[in-house]
Chain A
Amino acid sequence: MNDQWAKELQDRVQKIQAGGATKYHEKNAEQNKLFVRDRLELLLDPGTIRVEDGLFANCMEEGLPADGVVTVTGKMNGQTVCVMANDSTVKAGSWGSRTVEKIIRIQETAQKLKVPMLYLVDSAGARITDQLEMFPNRRGAGRIFYNQVKMSGMVPQVCILFGPSAAGGAYIPAFCDIVIMVDKNASMYLASPRMAEMVIGQKVTLEEMGGARMHCSVSGCGDVLAKNEEEAIEIARRYLSYFPANYKHKTSKIEAKSIQEGIRSIEEIVPDNQNVAFDMKEMIRAIIDDNSFFEMKELFAKEIITGFARIDGRAVGIIANQSKMKTGSLFVDSADKSARFITLCDAFNIPLIFLSDIPGFMIGTQVERSGIIRHGAKMIAAMSEATVPKISIIVRKAYGAGLYAMAGPAFEPDCCLALPTAKIAVMGPEAAVNAVYSNKIAQLEESERNEFIQQKREEYQEDINLYRLASELIIDGIIAPERLRDELKERLELYESKEMIFSERKHPVYPV
């Protein structure tokens, strides 16, 4: 080839790969933000193959290298993945028509290859000056979201939010399976504080409006809060290690590890007194492979714990009631959190383990007004529909609709097993005696009341005796706490071939 041509190509490539103007690189560095290509270096396996399309997008224009987005196909944990990554040094990562076209094309590639799609978001939103070219048309920005919905459950979709994700752009994270947000820098909002002040007269800070911590702890739009960009990228790599490439496959089994050293036994962790809280996370550590827990929405609706783990090297999803937080009762947010997690695991063939210690769904005017019934229905629907291996362990209490939501016997778990500390009932003995005998109790003399209540409570306890439940085949077995991990290992192996179709229809009418 003509030397001059080669030189021109090389110069152009170098210039495009360098991104936007120096001042924007400096601004990024001040905010502890990495350049988009450095992020990709950390995300993808070092020294492995990767291809990039659309490097020359909008190259006839000055100052819009790659049109502000890098789209690559490469390797992550040895698995092929597709990635789109905004370049915040190019017009603040805003979207023009070619930016949008590149994003749509990489999504199409992910669908054709049936591989995970990652969105590295750091964008001010649409270039309003270019709206006709990038906003309303068939292959305008709306198509990005349409594709995401289409890809949901087909391949894992991961969002790492490094900076803003504004207005319509905020729907990219909304349609991903997981949103990892970098503390202080990441934000998500439909309208900026400036816009909110202009339109509705509200004065707030960006952090209050749509900061990373707010979304990870209050709104539930964020799943994991990362300290910095490096950590966020590491979290994404770890997250995908629990997933297969697409819905047709299962996560590969890895080398098994024993449980964390020095952890107390389940017998020591779980108190007999049903009224006293304990830390369910400690109990989870007592059954899973050491250091294998990946928690989703750790800071949000903490009364339920949802996370991925490995047992004997097999990936599982765990849903567990945390009595330490709000008694472990299910609230509006915790029901939503569980429904979403169950759907995620079921979509990608990850077996589910439910650990119940639940007094029930929360009661009172506050939750009724927030629609606890319809939110609870979401969780029960998601859990019912899940066709992956479904193991229900009653650790302690499972009262009322709490038993149902935690994959009780009626919801076709592959097994429902109880620890000796388990109690399954419509409600606890105190509440039950009061509900059934309140008139009678009121009629009794003060002196006779206590004895009567005590006697009825004992009768009730007998009625819900665990061995009676086992004898009636309500539960499939009672197991010693020290056997639990082995029991889970064996059942997970034996249930591997499970295959079922839940129901014949187009799709359910979702309770939302």
Chain B
Amino acid sequence: MAGTVWKVLVSEGDVVESGQDVIILESMKMEIPLSAEMDGKVSKIMTNEGDFVAEGDVLLELEGI
């Protein structure tokens, strides 16, 4: 959903597990944790803390390992 990127919890190159929170958005005065949908390595982060993002935007790319 539309909101602001509050915290980016991972860095490029990090290995994450499916279900692990990677980014927290802030919208409607609520925290919205976004979690990885698969195990993988963070290959690219395409957003900065404070950015306004909309539904459908890609914030981060994972590559399978």
Contacts and interface: CB of A to CB of B under 8 A. Distances in A.
B1 A362 contact: yes
Q: Which of B30, B31, B33 has the most CB of A within 10 A?
A: B30
Interface stretch (A105-113, A161-169, A284-292, A323-331): A323-331
Contacts of A275: 29-31
Main secondary structure of the interface of B (DSSP, over half): loop
B15 interface: no
Nearest to A359: B28
Question: Looking at B2, B28, B29, B32, which has the most chain A CB atoms within 10 Å of its CB?
Answer: B28
A428 B2 contact: no
Q: Chain A, interface size: which category?
A: 10 to 19
A431 B30 CA distance: 12
Nearest to B27: A327
Interface in A344-364: 359-360, 362-364
B32 A327 contact: yes
A366 B30 contact: no
A431 B28 CA distance: 9
B55 interface: yes
A300 to B, nearest CB: 15
A376 to B, nearest CB: 15
B65 interface: no
Interface in A257-275: 274-275
Contacts of B33: 277
A359 B30 CA distance: 8
A366 B29 contact: no
B54 interface: yes
Given A366-B54, A366-B55, A329 B28 contact: yes
Interface of B: 1-2, 27-33, 54-55
Given A275-B31, A366-B55, 19 more contacts: A275-B30, A276-B31, A277-B31, A277-B32, A277-B33, A323-B30, A326-B32, A327-B1, A327-B28, A327-B30, A327-B32, A359-B30, A360-B28, A362-B1, A362-B2, A364-B2, A366-B2, A428-B29, A430-B29
